[in-house]
Amino acid sequence: MRLHGDVSDDEEEGAVMDPALLSSSSPPAGAAAAAASRLVVGYALTKKKVKSFLQPKLLLLARKKGISFIPIDETRPLSEQGPFDIILHKKTSKEWQRFLEDYHEVHPEVTVLDPPNAIEHLNNRQSMLEEVADLNLSSFYEEVCTPRQLVIMKDPSSIPTAVAMAGLTLPLVAKPLVVDGTSKSHELSLAYDEASLPMLDPPLVLQEFVNHGGILFKVYIIGEAIQVVRRFSLPDVNTYDLLNNVGIYRLPRVSCAAASADHADLDPRIAELPPRPLLEKLGRELRGRLGLRLFNIDMIRELGANDRYYIIDINYFPAERKINVSSRHISARVGQFNIVQVGVSSPLPKVGLAGG
């Protein structure tokens, strides 16, 4: 069965890079302008995140522009490392947050991508969609909303009653409540009947399933840049399915490449991408509300309702290799943080540790 959902970092298979590229701090000979405006990006990422994001084509481009990507040693104080112009990370632990806060007090000029407490907001599927529910996109004809959902903290036997009281309609998509970067936190289940609901494993979020033509739109937001790709998703559910399926279907994970629908032969009404003005407005609103500059949203369009979209998940710092782009596209996105034209374009965005 094809599915929508996240591909976690621990399942990415990035290209192995030359370690020398990570520590290189010198721009090409003769690049005096780049040397004068050299930018140092310190990063604190998992090994698999390094493989998926800091790919050779990005690192080579960075070197030509006078940019250095330097690994941060998390066993040493940040004050003993650097100096950095940007800190790029995907950490939310309290200890790491204290490290960043202490460093930022002494070096407020350093841009942090992104604030740990803002990232943490996306680690809970109950809180991650709260900002979407309050969005005001009244200037557009299209409607953006979230599926009706219910949070179950414990006691699986209480789920049928809770679902009935909330008025949710089967089938329901079950997702773990906490998103911690592991494969398990991205597992999905589809519940067809009420009697099987106690088989689910709380804490979890139950979302009403919305028929959407089997296509998911992954919208990548990097600074002010936006790119959207199509992915295959769960097939639609009809009355026959509801009458002839019982139980909980544990949905298998699929690779990003296998799920790509960008070149598939699809009904144009299903394949049509969301309107660009809507995505730009949505990106601006969510950047401000979430206090993040590096994230993606999973969006579906309700089948038969071309003007109604649902946001079903938001993920922080998606792997760049999930987007099939050239080095030029990557440089454009990195350029949103003033890396491509250091010292020429507008100043680096200052993202405080408190978010916003």
pLDDT for residue 332: 37
- Tell me if 94 is assigned to a ligand binding site: no
Condensed to tens digits (0 to 9), the pLDDT of residues 135-151 reads: 776 656 678 999 999 99
Q: What is the 8-class DSSP label of residue 149?
A: E
- Of 78, 97, 113, the position where a domain reaches its end is 113
Indicate the angle between helix axes 327-334 and 56-64, nearest 10 degrees.
60
- Tell me if 313 is assigned to a ligand binding site: yes
Residue 354 lies in a domain: no
Which tops the pLDDT comparison, 249 or 28?
249
Residue 12 lies in a domain: no
- Of 113, 141, 165, the position where a domain reaches its end is 113
Whether residues 179 and 45 fall in one domain = no
Of 46-50, 319-323, 326-330, the range with the highest mean pLDDT is 46-50
pLDDT for residue 141: 67
- Tell me if 139 is assigned to a ligand binding site: no
Residue 318 lies in a domain: yes
| Cis preceding linkage at 27, omega within 30 | no
Mean pLDDT over 80-101 rounds to: 88
Residue 32 in this model has a pLDDT that exceeds 50: no
Whether residues 48 and 178 fall in one domain = no
Q: What CATH number is given to the structural domain containing 212?
A: 3.30.470.20
Of 15-19, 50-54, 119-123, 329-333, which range is least confident? 15-19
pLDDT for residue 139: 59
Whether residues 47 and 143 fall in one domain = no
Mean pLDDT over 74-81 rounds to: 88
- Tell me if 211 is assigned to a ligand binding site: yes
- Tell me if 336 is assigned to a ligand binding site: no
Whether residues 148 and 86 fall in one domain = no
Specify the 3-state DSSP secondary structure of 151.
Answer: strand
Residue 356 lies in a domain: no
Residue 335 in this model has a pLDDT that exceeds 60: no
- Tell me if 109 is assigned to a ligand binding site: no
- Of 87, 113, 139, the position where a domain reaches its end is 113
- Tell me if 90 is assigned to a ligand binding site: yes
Domain with 275, as residue range(s), is: 121-342
Check: CB of residue 38 under 8 Å from CB of residue 310.
no
Residue 19 in this model has a pLDDT that exceeds 80: no
- Tell me if 125 is assigned to a ligand binding site: yes
Check: CB of residue 84 under 8 Å from CB of residue 40.
yes
pLDDT for residue 11: 38
* 30 contacts: CB under 8 Å, gap ≥ 6: none
Whether residues 169 and 83 fall in one domain = no
Whether residues 215 and 331 fall in one domain = yes
Of 17-21, 135-139, 275-279, 325-329, which range is least confident? 17-21
Residue 9 in this model has a pLDDT that exceeds 90: no
Roughly how many angstroms between the first and final C-alpha of the chain, as a whole number? Answer: 39
Condensed to tens digits (0 to 9), the pLDDT of residues 202-240 reads: 999 999 999 999 999 999 998 889 999 999 988 899 988
Whether residues 217 and 325 fall in one domain = yes
- Tell me if 214 is assigned to a ligand binding site: yes
CA distance 60 to 57: 5
Residue 214 lies in a domain: yes
pLDDT for residue 86: 92
Mean pLDDT over 313-342 rounds to: 50
- Tell me if 117 is assigned to a ligand binding site: no
Q: What CATH number is given to the structural domain containing 84?
A: 3.40.50.11370
Whether residues 97 and 141 fall in one domain = no
Residue 219 lies in a domain: yes
Whether residues 102 and 226 fall in one domain = no
Residue 1 lies in a domain: no
- Tell me if 209 is assigned to a ligand binding site: yes
- Tell me if 49 is assigned to a ligand binding site: yes
Residue 9 lies in a domain: no
- Tell me if 175 is assigned to a ligand binding site: yes
Condensed to tens digits (0 to 9), the pLDDT of residues 244-277 reads: 888 999 876 544 444 677 777 788 888 899 999 9
How many residues would you count in the chain? Answer: 356
- Tell me if 236 is assigned to a ligand binding site: no
Mean pLDDT over 300-311 rounds to: 91
- Tell me if 158 is assigned to a ligand binding site: no
Whether residues 94 and 219 fall in one domain = no
- Tell me if 91 is assigned to a ligand binding site: no
Check: CB of residue 127 under 8 Å from CB of residue 120.
no
Whether residues 227 and 275 fall in one domain = yes
Whether residues 99 and 202 fall in one domain = no
What total number of domains does the chain contain? 2
- Tell me if 298 is assigned to a ligand binding site: yes
pLDDT > 70 fraction of the chain, expressed in percent and rounded: 75
Residue 297 in this model has a pLDDT that exceeds 90: yes
